[in-house]
Amino acid sequence: MNIPVRAFVLLLVLGPLGVFAQLQEPKEIQDIQVRNLTREGEGGISSVRAFIQPRVGDSYDRRLVNEDIRSLQETGRYAYVGVELLPLANNRVTLIYVVEERARLRNIRIDGGDAISNAKIRKEMELELGDRVDIALVEQKLLPIREKYRKKFYTEAAFDVNLTPADERGFSDLTIKVNEGLQQKVKDIEFTGNIAYTDREVRAVMMQKQVWLLSVFSGRGGLNEEALRLDRYRIQELYRKLGYLDATVGEPELKRTPRGLVVVLPIEANQQFRVRSIQIKGNTLYPSSLLGSRVPLQVGGIAGSDDIERGRRAIRDFYNVRGYSKTLVRERILLTDQPDQVDIVYTIREGEVATVRNILIRGNTRTKDHVLRREITVVPGETLNEVNVRNSAARIRNLGFMEMANHAVLPTRDPAVYDVEFEVREARSGNFLAGVGFSSEDRLVGFIELSQGNFDLTDPPGFIGGGEKLQTRLQLGTERQDVEVNYSRPWFLNRRLTFSVRGFMNEREFLSDDYNQKNTGASVGLRKQLFGRWRGDLSYQLEEIEVFDVAEDASEIIKQEEGTTLRSSLNFIMTHDTRNQVWIPTKGGRTILSTGLIGGPLGFDEDIYELGVRASYFFPLIWNRDHNLNLHGWARTVDYYGDSDSVPIFDRLFLGGARTIRAFDFRDVSPVDENGDPIGGQTALFASAEYTIPLSELFRVAGFYDWGVVNLDPYDASTEEMNSSYGIGLRIDMPGFPLRFDYSWQHFASESNESNGGKFSFLIGYSF
């Protein structure tokens, strides 16, 4: 390489480096100026200089300048704060702070307020004479006023804001003209042509709601024209589910009444279609008969849009689960020469068998990677199963501490190989709860609860990200005191096995007027999914039970138990759950089989065993799907063996109270001693039927019948001493704070339990 060429190359390489070095050289501040866009001269400039950190001769530091900008903004004096750099010779600059002052209020005038008075608006805006404002700040101050108008159903309330230009002293006058508009309160939503559903079922899918008892606080029921526009499509889709494929919903009609708006939606159901034939095209790998068996439609059955879509997904999943990724299935609905029949055609574009290269997880900042990976059932190197990919994303969401879990199948350079990516966003996993409760059994109770749903025992000091759960609860009341600590760890020993530890201290005074009871102990347990929807729980518990403050006239059975008893127990529970939702289910049910062994080979002071079964099932009524019937009940027996010669009072069975036979006092349904005091039995049977009718999303009324018997001996199912009651109730389904009010009367009562009149009971929480 000759010298000129080498020189040229060095110039290309070193030239930019020299320029870069020059750009990085610190700039010296030669002058600092302030430009006030609001006023000429020095007005307000001295107050700006008070917040400026750089000095003439200093090197320009962007960090310090940013701090100055924030400080000036926080004064509330300026509508705008910025900085300009004026470059000078010799790597020097002039630093210019540019500000725009807010005007001072000289006068405030508000006109037009009626539903909210002008004085109230001014007070709520929290503006005083002399305050500094601009239009943006005034609009911000009006936000809570707009919300108050919305809650009063003035959804079109508008504010004309006028702020005069600042005078030479920096003062302005503020005028706000309020245009409240008409009150848009939806009293009722009605339908014409609604032939397939109850009006309540249609309202349930709508975004537009009616006013209700608590609208004064929530503002629910204000007219929302955009919501009504979308509701027309929601109702149309509701009808399509029942085969009314060309149903239409017209423009809503608004009727003004003295009590508010009535919204009338016209529904044209038109023809209900049935399936004439189901055709499958484009398939070469599997026969149409096999694919068609996955479709939930039946020839001659209703052509519901949901079933048509489920058929499409079922065919696609049939291919995807066998590794044929990117298989596409499209459905078409074809009219026939029969006016009420359609042909359903599924057209398939079969994909190719694909394998998984990598599993990628993004977005978990606190949760350990292995906590998420163990929920993923897709394995690198195996055939890509897109159904398992979707299910894995659902399992990650169901962990309880993920706000979002999306999945994507990403192509690679090899068309037969894909990467699978899961993108997650973590939710808040720690919770602090405090509250006060009351019931007709345990009276007034206050509680504090601290929980962490993404705990990690092995990662101090943060102890977070391991997918474990820790809960501590303190509950103090007039009739009870409880302290509990619960810890659970899923995937124990790297298996789908949940390990749990519980420590507790429970002191109860409401169990009897003749004694108080305190239970202190700890337990360890294992939980595993068995088969189908059956789950098994095995636990060992060591517990000290103290019976104290025994009344002088208490039964001898109770007096014999005064003092402390130490017992060791092994319990096994099997649960089968098919409910459609945990809280307020409407169909399905739950069955629980339980057995417990106390003492014997486990040692300590007691030798008894117990057996039990509990079931609760929910049935929507045929004549009105909003109505629901709940049938539930349980049976238990307990007996002694080995060195024990009786079942102690704290293991005996009782009925009565707000959770069982509601017309009887708590634990009053029981065999009695010679003084007529309840002493509990060794066999108990309980059954209840409850019929609920919803009045709104929040309220349900109920009618119920409770029945039960407690017998002295084990395995004694005789019903001679049965007791029963009937009554009515109100359910208030507030999220996190459900209330249950009941009033009941005795129907049948054993001789020791007869009383006159009805009984009121009250509970916080759900009871199944």
The predicted model gives 458-469 an average pLDDT of: 91
Edge-to-edge strand list for the sheet holding 341-349: 274-281, 341-349, 328-335
Model pLDDT, residue 8: 40
Centre a 10 Å sphere on the Cβ of residue 718 and count the other Cβ atoms it contains. 11
Average pLDDT over residues 123-135: 87
* pLDDT at residue number 225: 84
Between residues 709 and 443, the one the model is more confident about: 709
Query: How confident is the model over 248-274, as a mean pLDDT?
Result: 92
Pick from 655, 658, 657: nearest CA to 666: 657
Nearest to 442 by CA among 508, 519, 513, 516: 508
Name the more confident of 647 and 738.
Answer: 647
CA dihedral sign of residues 133, 137, 139, 140: negative
Contact indicator for 211, 185 with CB cutoff of 8 Å: yes
758: pLDDT strictly greater than 90: no
**pLDDT (tens digit per residue) in 32-44:** 888 877 765 555 5
Q: Which is more confident, 102 or 724?
A: 724
Query: Cα–Cα distance between 548 and 559 in angstroms, integer?
Result: 9
Instruction: Spell out the residues 6+ positions from residue 396 whose beta carbon is closer than 8 angstroms to its own.
Output: 372, 375, 376, 402, 405, 422, 424
More confident residue, 691 or 697: 691
Lowest average pLDDT, out of 68-72, 271-275, 666-670, goes to: 68-72
Residue 441 has pLDDT above 70, yes or no: no
Written as six digits, the tokens of 571 are: 């319990």
| SS3 at position 223 | coil
What is the pLDDT at residue 218? 67
Which residues face 64 on adjacent strands?
A: none
Give the mean model confidence (pLDDT) for residues 192-196: 94
Predicted confidence (pLDDT) at residue 465 exceeds the cutoff of 60: yes
763 in Cβ contact with 658 (< 8 Å): yes
DSSP string covering 712-765, please?
SSTT----TT-EEEEEEEEEE--TT--EEEEEEEEEE--GGG---SEEEEEEES
Give yes or no for residue 316 having a pLDDT over 70.
Answer: yes
Identify the burial level of 133 via C-beta atoms within 10 angstroms of its C-beta, where 0-12 means exposed, 13-18 middle and 19 or more buried. Answer: buried
pLDDT of residue 102: 84
pLDDT of 598 reads: 96
- pLDDT at 469 exceeding the cut of 60: yes
By residue count, the chain amounts to: 768
**Residue 69 near residue 55 (C-beta atoms within 8 A):** no
Residue 592: phi and psi, rounded to 5, are -130, 125
User: 72-116: per-residue pLDDT in tens?
Assistant: 888 888 888 888 888 888 888 898 988 888 888 899 999 988 888
Higher pLDDT, 328 or 71: 328
Radius of gyration (Cα) for the chain, nearest Å?
36
Delineate the domains of the chain, giving CATH numbers in brackets.
Answer: 23-101 (3.10.20.310), 103-179 (3.10.20.310), 186-268 (3.10.20.310), 274-352 (3.10.20.310), 354-426 (3.10.20.310), 535-764 (2.40.160.50)
Strand partners, 702: 692, 729
Report the distance separating Cα 333 and Cα 593, nearest Å: 48
Closest CA to 499 of 507, 512, 490, 508: 490
Which tokens is 376 given? 């993923």
**Backbone CA torsion sign across 203, 206, 210, 212:** positive
pLDDT at 484: 96
Consecutive H or E run containing 125 = helix 118-125
DSSP 588-642: EEEEEEEEEEESGGG-BS--EEEEEEEEEEEEE-SS-TT-EEEEEEEEEEEEE-T
The larger pLDDT score, comparing residue 253 to residue 169, is at 253
Give the confidence band of 756 by pLDDT, cuts at 50, 70, 90: low
How far CA 6 is from CA of 10, 14, 19, 580, in Å, comes to: 6, 12, 20, 79
CA distance 653 to 680: 5
Spell out where 102-219 has E strands: 103-111, 132-133, 158-163, 171-179, 186-192
> DSSP assignment of 262-308, as one string?
EEEEEEE--PPPEEEEEEEES-SSS-HHHHHTT----TTSB--HHHH
Mean pLDDT of all residues belonging to the chain: 88
- CA torsion sign for 643, 649, 651, 654 is positive
Residue 25 — very low, low, confident or very high, per pLDDT cuts 50/70/90?
Answer: low
| Average pLDDT for 354-377 | 94
Residue 695 gets the label, from left (phi > 0), alpha (psi -120 to 50) or beta, of alpha
Residue 3 has a pLDDT of 42
The pLDDT value recorded for residue 706 is 97
Percent of the chain scored above 70 by pLDDT? 94
Q: What is the pLDDT of residue 733?
A: 86
Q: How far is CA 154 from the centre of its chain?
A: 30
